[in-house]
Structure 1
Amino acid sequence: MYELVPVAEAPQYDEEAEQRFVEEWPEFIFHDAEVKKYRERRAEFFRDWEFYLVSADERLIGGCWGVPIAWDGTVDDLPAGFTDTLARSVTSYEQGVVPNTFVLMAAAVRNDEQGRGHAGRVITAVRDRAIAGGLPQVIAPVRPTLKSRYPLTPIETFMTWTREDGLPLDPWLRTHVRLGATLLAPAPVSQTMTGTVAEWEKWTGMLYPSSGTYVIPDGLTVLDIDRTADTGVYREPNIWMRHA
């Protein structure tokens, strides 16, 4: 048995969660300057939309969080991606806009519990909680994990790749599809990470001797380095999926 527990009600897991749930993410993913502008307000406004998945013996298994937005149900009205969703949720809340959609922003399972269906459990539980809470539309800007093996392939092409059984080639997309989700649209620039050359060398463990385009570890696309400006820019693509 597993229980979905609001983060606000389970501070005893906070320290472990902070350590466990960053293990699968590349360091550069935490350096989106635009995200930082909204982080504190998001935590203040939407604390009720952060959850832990806990086992019957009170073991921390996974976590998930999201934000509510107003969305008219069309592809044209989708946020540009992860960062734009965060901005829309915060500014809409401050403007008194009534939301009708829950955006599943991130889900994670601890390393030593992966491969046991926990990702599906936490996503399903949060999705059902959102619908029961008056947000009948559930969408997600999904980061396809296999895309890092094909960084030169446009996200618009990658999202069309399927296996012989018709399911997506990407395993994280497959997880969502098996839970009833459908692919909506590409999000070519879901996040933008910018840093100095030295910062990018630290984040990726690579050297960038000259200006140019580089394939980086765990990158879904390429990194553009400009040594004259001492800047590296990476634009992370995601894929919009609809759950309900």
Structure 2
Amino acid sequence: MRIVTRADHPELQDEAAAVFRERWPEFIFHDEVPKKYLGRVEEHFGHFDVMALGDDGAVLAGGWGVPLAWDGTVADLPSGYDDALVRAVEGHEAGREATTLSFMAAAVGAAHDKRGLATAVLGELTRRAYGKGLSHVIAPLRPTGKHRYPTVPMAEYATWTRADGLSIDPWIRTHQRMGARVLGPAPSSMVIEGTVAEWESWTGMVFPVTDDYVVPDALNTVHIDVERDRGVYVEENLWVRHA
């Protein structure tokens, strides 16, 4: 296995995108903030966008992050994924000095689970962060088991542990084993809005009346307002800080 930047291998863009896409529900790709900022992320921060390649050159896993200004306090954390993107891009363009790398996403191809690839990718991003003189590494985690408990607040879910003291959640455990500790919820990490028809298309569900709905793979409920023809999903994530 070798780790390379995605910018150095543009011929693998589609393959890398497929690895990421298979790990998230369709509605995640309809957040308006990334649509405005991801092009500038690629332009400014290609050093922090990496892929793990197999011996045959196939994409096994990938991950990326953004450098941003953070003073090390919980009060100064971004509100989540969207806010971290905005702070990183606008801060860079304003000449503000970054202090911190925020992991934004990591994914492993479904055929390559249980091989430690996520840890390898995150470890490489961490090495790159410290190599660039950044002081902190944080992440707004999207816990992989939280969708089973969409009505439970993230602050409570984060306290649920196994007998060994680690989280019940596999993705939180991955970060804990790398030395991360929980800082607290990212209350408005992503906000996704659409018409009722769009939400029905994204989820394969029918929303006949105005209500809060439990949607497959959503970490929180989705509010559907039939009268206004609007669905709004505010996703709560979990901030962690790596040692």
TM surpasses 0.5: yes
Amino acid at match of 2:208: P
Amino acid at match of 2:95: G
Quote the residue 2:74 is aligned against.
Answer: 75
Amino acid at match of 2:181: T
Q: Say which SS state the counterpart of residue 21 (structure 1) adopts.
A: helix
What is the deviation of 1:52? 0.6
Quote the residue 1:212 is aligned against.
Answer: 211
Unmatched tracts of structure 2, length 5 or more: none
Quote the residue 1:29 is aligned against.
Answer: 28
Cα distance in 1 for residues equivalent to 2:128 and 2:86: 23
After TM superposition, the runs of 4+ consecutive aligned structure 1 residues lying more than 4 A away are none
Q: Does 1:63 align with 2:62?
A: yes
Cα distance in 1 for residues equivalent to 2:43 and 2:128: 19
Question: Identity, % of aligned pairs?
Answer: 49
Q: Say which SS state the counterpart of residue 227 (structure 2) adopts.
A: coil
RMSD: 1.0
1:129-168, aligned counterparts within 5 Å?
129-168=128-167
Amino acid at match of 2:219: L
Amino acid at match of 1:24: R
Deviating more after overlay: 215-224 vs 6-15:
6-15
Quote the residue 2:85 is aligned against.
Answer: 86
Q: Does 1:53 align with 2:91?
A: no
What is the deviation of 1:109? 0.6
Cα distance in 1 for residues equivalent to 2:90 and 2:211: 36
Amino acid at match of 1:30: F
What is the deviation of 1:47? 1.9
Cα distance in 1 for residues equivalent to 2:18 and 2:54: 18
Q: Say which SS state the counterpart of residue 13 (structure 1) adopts.
A: helix
Amino acid at match of 2:214: V
What is the deviation of 1:125? 1.4
Q: Say which SS state the counterpart of residue 148 (structure 1) adopts.
A: helix
Unmatched tracts of structure 1, length 5 or more: none
What is the deviation of 1:57? 3.4
What is the deviation of 1:55? 2.4
What is the deviation of 1:12? 2.5
